[in-house]
Amino acid sequence: MTDDSNLTPGGAASIVTVTIRDDAEGHWVDWAKDGETGVLGPYQDREMAENVRAAKERELTENHGHIDDAG
């Protein structure tokens, strides 16, 4: 059995990037998936930003929707 949860409706694999960026305001999590982009933050410490980065990466690669869509 193959895991095709990361495929777009056309069958191509999604391109996902989730990175941390730092500036004078704090630590930011930048993300992109298939042309859709967003920014989360700022976070006061790098550890929190890393936790958010990991969660967002899981959301984009393992889930079919976005956390914001739940409710």
Among 32, 7, 4, 27, smallest CA distance to 17 is for 32
Q: Are strands 36-43 and 16-23 parallel, antiparallel or unpaired?
A: unpaired
Q: Above 80 in pLDDT, residue 1?
A: no
Per-residue pLDDT, averaged over 3-14, amounts to 60
The 3-state DSSP composition of the chain as helix, strand, coil percent (nearest 5) reads: 30, 35, 35
**Which pLDDT value is given to residue 14?**
84
Q: What is the pTM of this model?
A: 0.72
Phi, psi of 34 (to 5 degrees): 50, 45
State pLDDT tens for residues 47-58: 999 999 999 999
State pLDDT tens for residues 18-30: 999 999 999 999 9
Q: Above 80 in pLDDT, residue 69?
A: no
